[in-house]
Amino acid sequence: MTATLLAGTSAGIVAAVQSGTASPESMVAAAFARMRVADAGASGLNVFVSSDETASRRAAEHAPRTGPLAGVPVAVKDNIATPFLTTSCGSRVLEGYVSPFEATAARKLREAGAVLIGKTTMDEFAMGSSTEHSAFGPARNPLDRARVPAAVPAAQPLRLPPGSARLRLDRRPADRFASPLPSAESSA
């Protein structure tokens, strides 16, 4: 059932958690199982540069079950400070750095009941838009691993393996622009 919920909407997860038919713990377990099946780590799609299943499961145990994002697995970009995952900003200079602070956005997600499951690949210090300039290698397109998954930050949620995180928080510098997402016809 949890895998089905992860394939659905965030609202469906929240409803199931609030009604007691699912738990934040089961949603996190299902998200990590899906990440393994999709090969989302560094040796595969390279979507997640940092994740800690044990810490995420602990966070799920303490997540509010009544919040507007109750039990929803969330991934954040690697430049958003979190209390238990490394924040490298896509750079070897900050490799292994764990911030003593938590970004307001991450805190508000957590307070709303969301459970952080990982940090996503990004260009070094956000100086790019395709992850090709990450010190940890680019994220790979699940349909063709020789290609990057998207050319614009707005399209980057497309690269999350289906059934892993339901939401993805991304920060974009003000000087960037949002391009329309490619349609199925234009990507053929």
Inside any domain, residue 82: yes
pLDDT tens digits for range 56-90 = 999 999 999 999 999 999 989 999 999 899 999 99
Residues facing residue 59 across a β-bridge: none
Give the model confidence (pLDDT) of 112-146 as tens digits.
999 999 998 898 998 887 788 898 988 888 778 88
Residue 76: CATH number of its domain:
3.90.1300.10
> Is 145 inside a domain boundary?
yes
User: pTM higher than 0.75 for the full model?
Assistant: yes
- Supply 119's token pair: 């940090």
Residue 38 lies in a domain: yes
Nearest Cα to Cα of residue 76 among 45, 51, 113: 51
